[in-house]
Amino acid sequence: MDASKNLKRYNMVLPEPLFLELQDAAKQNDITVLELLRRFIKLGLIVHNVSKDPSAAFVIRTGDTEREVMFL
């Protein structure tokens, strides 16, 4: 079975400041922008699925400070 048959293509146009931010983040992590976007999409799907549970909460903890993040 040809693995490329399971791939889908999606072209995206981004504002330059956003793309430059992505490029910088990718460079800092020594990965490509494409790999960074794939990781962001996977994380976004996790957030999407977990947020369906009304008892679930997303918490950002920085040191001793916590804040809950609400997703729509």
Q: Rounded to the nearest 10 degrees, how much is the dihedral formed by the CA atoms of 45, 8, 6, 48?
A: 10
| Amino acid identity, position 31 | I
4 against 63, higher pLDDT: 63
Is 34 a domain residue? yes
Q: Residue 37, CB half-sphere, CA atoms under 13 Å: how many?
A: 12
Residue-range definition of the domain harbouring residue 31:
14-69
Strand partners, 67: 60
Our count of domains for the chain comes to 1
Is 60 a domain residue? yes
pLDDT digits (tens, 9 = 90+) for 13-58: 999 999 999 999 999 999 999 999 999 999 999 999 998 998 999 9
Structure tokens at 53: 């549970």
Is 8 a domain residue? no
